[in-house]
């Protein structure tokens, strides 16, 4: 069953697949469920609840991340601790080691310290110190990092891989492809062997989702969509575009915001001049948040309804 955070005034709870309230709005903030558990804020402190709304780890943390594979990072008294679902401490980092820790990906946690990025192992051990100016999460054992003005891919040991003087990586891998910038200042994609999969062109692409990526055409100043071989699926005619999720993509044409299918046909229109909360849209849940004339609403992408 889908659980989605919703608010009534300043209080947050969770609704289900068809607008039914699953957990009443009694929290100051409510995160998405992951591993059957969600972080919620009450009286200024974070704790965790299960899908029945029962508190399983009491409110005591200054920050709390999502549970993934039975583990989550929390912070109390300026120290990060890795917990299991019983609330037992699996590892505790010394103060100052990290300012923020992201979720687990490829058995590694990305962390930041003083605007630099590094990686911790699945048990919280230091694997790669915070020396990178930018870093993506690891996907299939590879991450895109930048240091001293140069971008490149590394493996989980920190070794540089897929180096090629003919191109520079600009995005991490998604669905086996990564966007790169060639010497002629055009953009294309490589596969996970470093081979050119989509030849360079003027189009500026994005990450792939459900076999499609939106692109920006600098000649028309519009957005369209392509497939994993670089063929145009939907011509560049939109003023803004977001990835496909559950077979639909959110686009904007003039003042009209709408969800389209993979043929570019409008499936659900949204009110004109709607401001969509991109973060909630990208979560991929049944609902995403929309601001209409200053009023926060939820759009159900499967029913095509907004309330």
Q: Specify the pLDDT at position 1.
A: 56
Give the integer Cα–Cα distance in Å for 60 and 212. Answer: 42
List the one residue out of 106, 77, 85 whose CA is nearest residue 34: 85
Edge-to-edge strands, sheet with 232-238: 212-217, 222-227, 232-238
Pair 97, 84: CB distance under 8 Å = no
Residues 6+ apart with CB under 8 A from 257: 250, 251, 269, 270, 271, 272, 273, 274, 276
43-52: burial string, b at 16+ Cβ within 10 Å, e else: eebbbbbeee
* pLDDT tens, the chain, 307 aa long: 589 999 888 999 999 888 899 999 999 999 999 999 999 999 999 999 999 999 999 999 999 999 999 999 999 998 999 999 999 999 999 999 999 999 899 999 999 999 999 999 999 999 999 999 999 999 989 999 999 999 999 999 999 999 999 999 999 999 999 999 999 999 999 999 999 999 999 999 999 999 999 999 999 999 999 999 999 999 999 999 999 999 999 999 999 999 999 999 999 999 887 899 898 899 877 888 898 888 888 888 888 888 8
What's the token pair of residue 301?
Answer: 């992408």
Angle of CA points 274, 277, 283, to nearest 5°: 135
Residues 6+ apart with CB under 8 A from 1: 16, 17, 22, 51
**Sequence ranges of the domains in the chain:** 205-307
Question: Using the 8-state DSSP alphabet, how is residue 45 labeled?
Answer: E
Q: Distances in Å between the alpha carbon of 117 and those of 113, 126, 266?
A: 6, 12, 41
Residues 74/78/79/85 CA torsion (nearest 10 deg): -20
Give the integer Cα–Cα distance in Å for 285 and 274. Answer: 19
151-166: burial string, b at 16+ Cβ within 10 Å, e else: bbbbebeeeeebeeee
Q: Specify the pLDDT at position 98.
A: 94
Give the integer Cα–Cα distance in Å for 150 and 124. Answer: 28
Q: Specify the pLDDT at position 169.
A: 96
Q: Specify the pLDDT at position 287.
A: 86
Pair 52, 64: CB distance under 8 Å = no
Q: Specify the pLDDT at position 68.
A: 94
| Residues paired with 9 in a beta bridge | none
């Amino acid at each position: 069953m889908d659980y989605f955070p919703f608010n009534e005034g300043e209080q947050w709870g969770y609704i289900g697949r068809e607008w039914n309230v699953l957990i009443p709005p009694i929290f100051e903030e409510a995160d998405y469920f992951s591993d059957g558990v969600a972080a919620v804020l009450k009286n200024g402190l974070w704790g965790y609840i299960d899908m029945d709304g029962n508190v399983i780890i009491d409110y005591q943390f200054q920050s709390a991340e999502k549970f993934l594979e039975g583990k989550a990072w929390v912070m109390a008294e300026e120290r990060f601790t890795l917990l299991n679902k019983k609330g037992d401490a699996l590892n505790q980092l010394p103060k100052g080691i990290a300012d923020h820790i992201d979720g687990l990906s490829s058995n590694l946690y990305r962390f930041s310290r003083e605007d630099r990025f590094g990686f911790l192992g699945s048990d919280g051990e230091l694997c790669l110190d915070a020396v990178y100016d930018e870093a993506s999460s690891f996907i299939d054992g590879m991450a895109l990092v930048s240091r001293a003005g140069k971008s490149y891919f590394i493996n989980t040991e920190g070794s540089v891989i897929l180096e090629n003087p003919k191109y520079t990586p600009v995005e991490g891998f998604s669905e086996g492809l990564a966007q790169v910038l060639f010497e002629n200042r055009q953009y294309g994609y490589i596969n996970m062997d470093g081979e050119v999969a989509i030849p360079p062109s003027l189009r500026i692409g994005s990450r792939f989702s459900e076999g499609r990526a939106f692109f920006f055409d600098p000649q028309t100043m519009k957005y369209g969509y392509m497939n994993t071989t670089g063929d145009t699926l939907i011509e560049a005619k939109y003023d803004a575009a977001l990835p496909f999720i559950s077979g639909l993509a959110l686009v904007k044409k003039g003042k009209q915001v709408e969800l389209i299918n993979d043929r570019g046909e409008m499936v659900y229109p949204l009110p004109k001049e709607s401001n969509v909360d991109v973060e909630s849209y990208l979560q991929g849940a049944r609902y995403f948040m929309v601001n209409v004339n200053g009023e926060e609403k939820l759009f159900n992408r499967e029913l095509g309804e907004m309330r």
